[in-house]
Amino acid sequence: MRDNPFHFFLQSLVGLAGDQAGLGALRLPMLVVWWLMLLGGVGIAVLVWRRDPAQRTAKDLAVLGCRMVAGGMWYLGTLWKLPWPVSDGFQFWMDSTVKFSSFQWHADIMQVMVGAIGVVQPLVFLLELFFAFSLMYGIAVRFTGVVAALFTLNLLIGLYNDPSEWAWTYIAIIYAHVMFAATQAGRSLGLDHLIARGDLLLPGTANLSRRLRWAT
């Protein structure tokens, strides 16, 4: 039977899509994380839609959709990076960034990271999980867009000469996240819009809100 994106998404809702099915005891916790991201992202969008009629545009809906899809991509990418023990997949791709890197200096850096892979893998897992939450909730998206673009640039450099990879895939991901940052995509039906308006300013959090604004 041929699969399709709609069936894949439905399967993901019950934890049976792709890498979800092989998570064992961690399948349920990661499924809960997925539902929290989906429901949280949609719930925030509905809240902003109701509070601000100016957000009820095709452009804002389109940006929301792009953010949610990109966030889903990062979530799916975390499923084969769950730490302790180091996953075979993560080990393989880390080794590949050494073998196929565009520059020797980069290969040398990645070799050091391979040597510390037990520390690197949980950090990468948490970083990609942060990307997913940020994009789907629409919070600190300008900051996330920049960091995710740089993160993907590292993959582009490291896997550029891999014959099984298509470099333009990584270039497209970089461009998408640069656009998220440049257009402040979190201000379209996301928490960044509420932060920018001052709606999330609570007693005792004025400094935090001011610091968050630059990231939105």
Task: Say what the pLDDT of residue 211 is.
Answer: 66
User: How many structural domains comprise the chain?
Assistant: 1
For residue 104, give the amino acid letter.
Q
Task: Say what the pLDDT of residue 206 is.
Answer: 59
Supply φ then ψ for residue 199, to 5 degrees: -70, -25
Q: What is the pLDDT along the chain (216 residues), one digit of tens a residue?
A: 688 999 999 999 999 998 998 898 999 999 999 999 999 999 999 999 999 999 999 999 999 999 999 999 999 999 999 988 888 999 999 999 999 999 999 999 999 999 999 999 999 999 999 999 999 999 999 999 999 999 999 999 999 999 999 999 999 999 999 999 999 999 999 999 998 887 765 555 556 666 666 777
Q: Map tokens 């970089």 to a residue.
A: 174
C-alpha distance across the termini of the chain, in Å: 43
* Cβ atoms of residues 98 and 110 within 8 Å: yes
* Cβ atoms of residues 20 and 30 within 8 Å: yes
3-state secondary structure 125-178: HHHHHHHHHHHHHCCCHHHHHHHHHHHHHHHHHHHCCCCCCCHHHHHHHHHHHH
Supply φ then ψ for residue 183, to 5 degrees: -95, 0
Task: Say what the pLDDT of residue 85 is.
Answer: 87
Give the structural domain span for 49: 5-215
Instruction: Give the predicted TM-score (pTM) of the model.
Output: 0.91
Rounded Cα distance between 90 and 117, Å, is 9
